[in-house]
Amino acid sequence: MLKRLWRAFVPAKPCCLVGEGGKVYSEANIVNMQGDKNLISIGRSSHVQAELLTFAHGGCIEVGDECFIGVDTRIWSASSIHIGDRVLISHQVNIFDNQTHPVLASKRHAHFKTIFSSGHPGSIDLGERPVIIEDDVWVGCGAIILRGVHIGRGAIVGAGSVVTKNVAPWTVVAGNPAELIREIPEGER
């Protein structure tokens, strides 16, 4: 029910920029708590079926050209998340550039109470660290990419992987935590 109500209000106020030929599908959920449409941009010919969210205290999401972001994927930014060109992000992927709540239990509880009493706070430390996903990356279904991670060009993240550290270009990583499986040879690039 809440998703339907939110979607009903989204068209009344532009909440992101979409390049020529880009499409945000009806199952997508764009949540721009700062209200600045320039903070969420979707490139030319990109297709988004996911939730893109920027927090009230900060955040920026850039999706490059000719990308696909699947259903039930969540990309939540309190700092910055940059997604290059021709990136394929499957279904049920989670990408966070922050911890989403404070680590200290008392601050975490206070944060939770604030969200439900007056909304997300305009000032809070969530341990933000930017995420960068370079061109031609493929992220498999159910993967999780955590704050501060840089995924190099052409890399493949296996389904269900939890990426906690940088991924070199033209490599395949998988597992929890994600580890190097193999390098992608020149002929497969």
What's the pLDDT at 58?
94
Which residues are annotated as catalytic?
Answer: 120
pTM value surpassing 0.85: yes
Task: Give per-residue pLDDT as tens, 34-80.
Answer: 989 999 999 999 999 999 999 999 999 999 999 999 999 999 999 99
Taken as a whole, the chain contains a residue count of: 189
Angle ∠(55,57,62) on CA atoms, nearest 5? 50
Task: Give per-residue pLDDT as tens, 6-25.
Answer: 443 444 456 899 999 999 99
At 24, the amino acid letter reads V
**Run of H or E including 116:** helix 105-118
In the chain the domains, ranked by start, together with CATH numbers, are 2-152 (2.160.10.10)
